[in-house]
């Protein structure tokens, strides 16, 4: 009995499946396109980003170790710059932070403390001396105004107005007028070491200004060999007032200054730059090794 040809039967059986596969092709194509797009998105977010895509984009998105190291350093620098700008905005003077080098203000401000300094025209207390923004210990005692647990403002000034000298941070005791024999009119004999006006170069006062003293010192700064070794402190020599202190943090700054005084600024700069370069090189070498 004659029947359908074998090849014909084979065509009849395969025909429906082929049609079904043809009908499924569009969906399959869409799925492939979606996977490809996702793969490209993942690549653009990961290590697939290269410098050729743009330096800024590479630094922001790369997982390359050298890139992440540079990004971290840039972040740290940016944070320091922002913090410095904010501190300057509040203090109105630069630098806004000073490290205390001696114990002359113990126990209220100790050696190694970091002190936040503000311009003398800011946060002016009640009873400031006319023509200035500083409240002396005498006026502060009368008006109940105190800073760092004692009456009066703690000021930062240049001894004898000399910008080459390290600024001093002491308390303003009282105001004197030019020509005033302040040793006889206002000074506390307990802080004079028994000397008289005739024995002090700053008496009579050579100009208007403040008599100053460290809280822990036994005599006024204007008494020879007793403190800052300065004459009467002119208001123009005051570069700021102490506002708050952070205990011990200033030790870091003092340590850096100590090294700088021994080796100079140049080696410190070279060491810092060298450390940054070494860190970047290490990140690059580690990344190459991982690959």
Model confidence pLDDT, tens digit, residues 243-269: 999 998 878 777 776 676 666 555 545
Q: What's 151's domain CATH number?
A: 2.10.109.10
Least confident of 68-77, 145-154, 163-172: 68-77
Confidence grade of residue 127 (pLDDT, cut at 50, 70, 90): very high
Asked if residue 69 is part of any domain, the answer here is no
Asked if residue 75 is part of any domain, the answer here is no
Strand, coil or helix: what is 290?
Answer: helix
Asked if residue 107 is part of any domain, the answer here is yes
Look up tokens 């620098």; give the residue: 77
Identify the top-confidence range among 54-63, 144-153, 219-228, 257-266. 144-153
Least confident of 18-27, 221-230, 247-256, 257-266: 18-27
- Mean pLDDT of all residues in 127-152: 96
Query: For the CA atoms of 107, 108, 113, 118, what is the dihedral angle to 10 degrees?
Result: -160
- Mean pLDDT of all residues in 90-102: 86
Asked if residue 8 is part of any domain, the answer here is no
Confidence grade of residue 14 (pLDDT, cut at 50, 70, 90): very low
- Integer CA distances (angstroms), 159 to 19, 188, 222, 232, 254, in order: 99, 22, 10, 9, 20
Q: If residue 283 lies in a helix (H) or strand (E), which one and from where to where?
A: helix 265-290
Confidence grade of residue 181 (pLDDT, cut at 50, 70, 90): very high
Domain range for 196 is 94-248
Q: What is the pLDDT of residue 161?
A: 96
Look up tokens 């002491």; give the residue: 170
Backbone dihedral region of 193: left (phi > 0), alpha (psi from -120 to 50 degrees) or beta?
Answer: left
pLDDT at 6 over 60: no
Asked if residue 105 is part of any domain, the answer here is yes
Q: What is the pLDDT of residue 7?
A: 47
pLDDT at 136 over 90: yes
- Mean pLDDT of all residues in 116-140: 94
Q: What is the pLDDT of residue 11?
A: 47
Asked if residue 258 is part of any domain, the answer here is no
Q: What are phi and psi of 167, to 5 degrees?
A: -60, 150
Q: What are phi and psi of 210, to 5 degrees?
A: -110, 145
Decide which of 53 and 71 is more confident: 71
pLDDT at 24 over 60: no
Share of the chain above pLDDT 70, in %: 68
Q: What are phi and psi of 170, to 5 degrees?
A: -140, 170
- Mean pLDDT of all residues in 91-112: 90
Least confident of 32-41, 70-79, 127-136, 198-207: 32-41
Asked if residue 215 is part of any domain, the answer here is yes
Average pLDDT over the chain reads 79
- Mean pLDDT of all residues in 173-189: 97
Asked if residue 100 is part of any domain, the answer here is yes
Q: How many domains does the chain have?
A: 1
pLDDT at 150 over 90: yes
- Mean pLDDT of all residues in 174-182: 98
pLDDT at 123 over 50: yes
Q: What is the pLDDT of residue 17?
A: 47
pLDDT at 43 over 90: no
Q: What is the pLDDT of residue 100?
A: 94
Confidence grade of residue 84 (pLDDT, cut at 50, 70, 90): confident
Q: What is the pLDDT of residue 278?
A: 57
């Amino acid at each position: 009995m004659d029947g359908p040809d074998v090849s014909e039967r084979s065509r009849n059986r395969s025909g429906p499946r082929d049609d079904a596969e043809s009908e499924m092709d569009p969906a399959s194509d869409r799925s492939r396109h979606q996977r490809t797009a996702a793969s490209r998105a993942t690549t653009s977010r990961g290590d697939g980003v290269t410098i050729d895509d743009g330096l800024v984009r590479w630094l922001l998105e790369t997982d390359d170790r050298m890139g992440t190291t540079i990004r971290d350093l840039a972040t740290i620098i940016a944070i320091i710059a922002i913090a410095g700008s904010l501190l300057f905005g509040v203090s109105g003077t630069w630098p806004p932070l000073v490290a205390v080098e001696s114990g002359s203000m113990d126990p209220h401000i100790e050696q190694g403390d970091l002190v936040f300094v503000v311009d003398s025209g800011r946060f002016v207390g009640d009873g400031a001396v006319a023509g200035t923004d500083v409240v002396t210990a005498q006026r502060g005692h009368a008006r109940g105004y105190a800073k760092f647990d004692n009456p009066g403002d703690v000021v930062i000034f240049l001894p004898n107005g000399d910008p080459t000298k390290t600024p001093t941070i002491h308390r303003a005791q009282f105001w004197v007028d030019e020509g005033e024999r302040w040793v006889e009119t206002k000074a506390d004999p307990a802080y004079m070491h028994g000397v008289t006006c005739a024995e002090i170069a700053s008496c009579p006062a050579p100009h208007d200004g403040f008599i100053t003293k460290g809280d822990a010192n036994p005599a006024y700064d204007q008494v020879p060999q007793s403190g800052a070794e300065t004459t009467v402190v002119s208001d123009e020599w005051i570069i700021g007032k102490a506002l708050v202190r952070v205990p011990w943090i200033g030790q870091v700054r003092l340590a850096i200054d100590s090294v700088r005084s021994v080796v100079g600024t140049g080696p410190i700069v070279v060491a810092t730059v060298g450390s940054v370069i070494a860190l970047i090189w290490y990140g690059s070498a580690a990344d190459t090794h991982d690959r």
